[in-house]
Structure formats: C-alpha cells, structure tokens
Amino acid sequence: MDLLKSFYLWNIGCQMNRADAARLSEALERRGYLATREPREADLLILNTCVVRQSAEDKVVGRLSSLKSLKQGNDRMLLVMGCFVDDVEELAETYPFVDAFFAPSDIASVLEYVDHKDRRRAHGGPLDDPLSAPEIAEQVPISYGCDHHCTYCIVALRRGRQQSRPVAEIRRDVEELVSRGAREITLLGQNVDDYGSDLPGGVTLSTVLRAIHDTDGLWRIRFLTSHPQEMTDEIITTATGLPKLCESWELPIQSGDDDVLRRMGRGYTVAHFRDLVNRIRAATAPRDCAINTDIIVGFPGETAEQFQRTLDLVREVRFDVVHVAAYSPRPGTVAARLVDDVPAAEKERRRAAIEEAQTEIAAEINAQLLGRDVELLVDGFQGGRWRGRTRTNKLVFFDADGNAPGAGVGAGANWLGHLVQARITWTGPWSMRAYKPRLLR
Ligand code: SAH
Ligand code: F3S
C-alpha cells in the first residue's frame, strides 16, 4: 500500500461509539491523515458499528454493501470495528472485501494495523501535525463491557466482561482534554455504577468523581449510564455533593411492570426504581434535577396491561427525556429464544403512545423555566445562533449581537466555550430560546 492520505470514518450507535470514533479520528489526524466526509476520496474507510437493534444492524449491512464497489480495482483499505464484529472468520467469509475486523472499542488494534500497513509510519514515525481542538463537551470511557445479563441485550455479549480503567489513566485523559480546551467531561460506561468491581482496592465511581473533580479548567462533570440495581446512596451523596457534578441522571427503567422487568433480568422492581428517583431528587433539592430514561416496548409476552403500567409510570415519574425503542430480538440473547409475540404494529402503537405522553411532559417541564435565568455552557454555533446546555443538559439557543463565531467577547461576541447566564424566552419540548446572555466565565 502506498501512502494513506485521507480517512472516512462512519459511526453509529451509543455514546461509547461516539467517543471511540472521536479518539480514533484524533489518533489518525495525529498521524497526518485528513478526515473526509466523502468515502470516494478516502484511502482508508472505517466503519464503527452498532447492532443493538435489527434496524442498526441493517444500516451496517447497507453501508458495507454500498462501500463494496469502492473497494474494487484499488488499494483502499476498509476496516470494520464495533458490536457488529462477532465471529471474525464467518464475517471474513461473508464480506471478503473487508480488510480486517476489530472488536468494539479496540482502537489500539486498529491503529496497530493501520501503522503496519502504512509505509510512511514504518519509515518516518508519527507526523507532528498540530492537534485539532477537542469539543467543549467531551467524553472519557471509564469502563468497557458489562457484567449484567439483561435478557434482550446483545451489547454485553459483544463487548464482553466489564473492564474498568485505572483511576490514574482516566484522570490523565481528563486532564489532557481539559488542558486543550474541553470544559465538560462525561464519564462513559455501559454501567458506571458498577465501576471498579473488577479492580483491586475498593475503588468506585465516587473515587473517580473525586479524583477528577479538582482538575483546573474543568467546569462540569456528567456520567452515564447508571443501573438502578447498582446505584448506591454513596454515589448519590458524592454526586450531589460535588459542585461540578451536573444535575442530570441517565437511569434506564426499561419497563414499568415487575413481571416484565424480571423477565428482562434487570434485578430491580418498579418500587425500588421509584424510591431511587425520590432519593436522587431529595438529595438534589432545591436545585433542578433531570432524570432521563430508556424504555423498551413490546418485550416478548408484554400484555396491554403491562404496557399500560409503563405508560402510567412515565406520567407519574415525569422524566426529562425518554429514549423509547420497540423490542428487537437479537441473536444469542436469552430473550431471542422467547416468542416475539407482540405484533410490529402494536409495538409501534406502544412506542408512539410513550413518545406522545413524553412530548407533553417534556414541554411542561421546560415551560417551568420560562422567564428564569439559567447557566449555559456554550458548545456550538448552529443555524445562526449560539447553542448551550443547562446543567440539566437541556438545549438552549440564544442570539447575541452580530452573532458570528470568531469575534472577541463583547459586541458580536464569541461565546464558544464560555459559561453564560441567559434568560429563557421560549420553551418547547426539545429545546429552548434565551436572551440577555451575560458572561460568567
Ligand atoms: N448499558 C447500556 C445499554 C446499552 S443498550 C445503557 O444503559 O446505555 C441502550 C438501550 O437500548 C437500552 O437501554 C435499551 O433500552 C435499548 N435496547 C437494548 N437492547 C434492545 C433490544 N434488543 N431491543 C430494543 N431495544 C434495546
Ligand atoms: Fe446491556 Fe443490561 Fe449491560 S442493557 S449493556 S446487559 S446493563
């Protein structure tokens, strides 16, 4: 292979995949490759894949077949990583035009492979290109894999047992990103509340939170995803007691019915979940607190009454965000052996019912902010407006005089990466508008 010059990285799936894609892009840029959005222009094509539901897997297969023709008659390299990668031998047979397959999050092996194939590296070592700045809000993985066995879940099967990263390594990553301009860090894991159970020394999520909290220049910390069975009062106390920890929790309930939860292998009851939400809200008060959740509708055997309990719970708990998905049988999971007996149209009806209820609730929750001053971390400029997020992770857009990015703070200010206070002037279910931005720092 001659010099590799540019790469095309296609990514779908969870926050972990997004973080992996960002890390991989950065590592390739460090080596002197240029990112392109056009696969035709790229010497190196990489797909970072997801198979959490059949629809995601279909996208991966579609992407693979559309890239197949690009591989013909040239020495472009095509690499596939992520949860699509299971039995490599079988995959290599089905997709002979793919050069290599890599496990989820195995960035090190991808880079090793690329370096080995790329003669420039063999001769010259890494190029000293200046690094592009990180995003204002960045992610740092704290653990890979998951030790739970939710019966519907393929993620744990593809990603394997939990592997927690050492605290010192996490702290180094955080310090590096912050020293280059990141102001908010989200710690990632399939189940962050279980962090450390595979490490010596009794380290927990709280240990990590305390270890990174005093990083100079770091203003906000988040973590996800939590598991209702494993969140302890110790974590709640630590998280609500540290000033940089934002008041927003990702706490998947999955179902509002105890029998369905049991068959999902979730290990908690609705009563436990309700109590947990109350404890988090009480510990956060009087501050606002956002609780976001995931729900699966149409799990095998889910009756109309059982679904109704989920809908009732959504109305009762009043989540800030609900990610709702129709159940999709995944190969190799325990639930895949159950009869997928809720018809597709009924799953869609249940999904839409949750969406509809949640849209109304989200609109009501946001409407309470009308006229109030909120603290925003400005992380982008979009559609002619500055974009920021509240500590509860709500999206707020605001205009500033002559609002082009690039100017100095003041008139026509560049608010990017600043913390501002602004007054909410309009609210909808998904975003809000604000005015009178005032620089906090
Ligand atoms: N521990 C991770 C789980 C990753 S899967 C986390 O909590 O983020 C992310 C979400 O996808 C799950 O919470 C679940 O709501 C949904 N999901 C997982 N498997 C699914 C399946 N087979 N069908 C439908 N939705 C599923
Ligand atoms: Fe999957 Fe359950 Fe773990 S959803 S990733 S097995 S907590």
Model confidence at 127: pLDDT above 90:
no
Residue at a domain's end among 328, 347, 367:
367
CATH number at residue 410: 2.40.50.140
- pLDDT grade for 384, boundaries at 50, 70 and 90: confident
Q: How far apart are CA 307 and CA 113, in angstroms?
A: 48
CATH number at residue 53: 3.40.50.12160
pTM: 0.93
Q: Is residue 129 part of a domain?
A: no
**Cβ of 227 below 6 Å from ligand 2:** yes
Q: What is the pLDDT of residue 401?
A: 62
- The number of the ligand nearest the C-alpha atom of 155 reads 2
Phi, psi of 327 (to 5 degrees): -60, 135
Q: Is residue 132 part of a domain?
A: no
Please state, as a whole number, how many other Cβ atoms lie within 10 Å of the Cβ of residue 412. Answer: 14
**Cβ of 191 below 6 Å from ligand 1:** yes
Model confidence at 1: pLDDT above 90:
no
Q: What is the pLDDT of residue 215?
A: 98
Token pair of 355 as six digits: 């969406």
Domain holding 16, by residue range, is 6-123
Contact 344, 326 (CB under 8 A): yes
Nearest residue to 157 (alpha-carbon basis) of 52, 18, 299? 52
The residue whose CA is least distant from atom 1 of ligand 2 is: 153
**Cβ of 83 below 6 Å from ligand 1:** no
Residue at a domain's end among 313, 347, 367:
367
Task: Kindly report, residue by residue over 48-101, the tens digit of the pLDDT.
Answer: 999 999 999 999 999 999 999 888 877 899 999 999 999 999 999 999 999 999
Q: Is residue 128 part of a domain?
A: no
- pLDDT grade for 402, boundaries at 50, 70 and 90: very low
Return the best residue to mutate from 16, 148, 226, 254 for the ligand 2 pocket (most ligand atoms within 8 A of CB): 148
The closest-lying atom of ligand 2 relative to the alpha carbon of residue 147 is 3
Task: Kindly report, residue by residue over 331-381, the tens digit of the pLDDT.
Answer: 999 999 999 999 999 999 999 999 999 999 999 999 999 999 999 999 999
Q: What is the pLDDT of residue 146?
A: 96
Cα distance between the two ends of the chain: 49
Q: Is residue 42 part of a domain?
A: yes
Query: Percent of the chain, pLDDT > 70?
Result: 93
The closest-lying atom of ligand 1 relative to the alpha carbon of residue 330 is 22
pLDDT, averaged across the chain: 93
How many domains would you assign to the chain? 3
Contact 318, 361 (CB under 8 A): yes
Q: Is residue 156 part of a domain?
A: yes
Range scoring the smallest mean pLDDT among 4-13, 210-219, 319-328:
4-13
Q: Is residue 131 part of a domain?
A: no
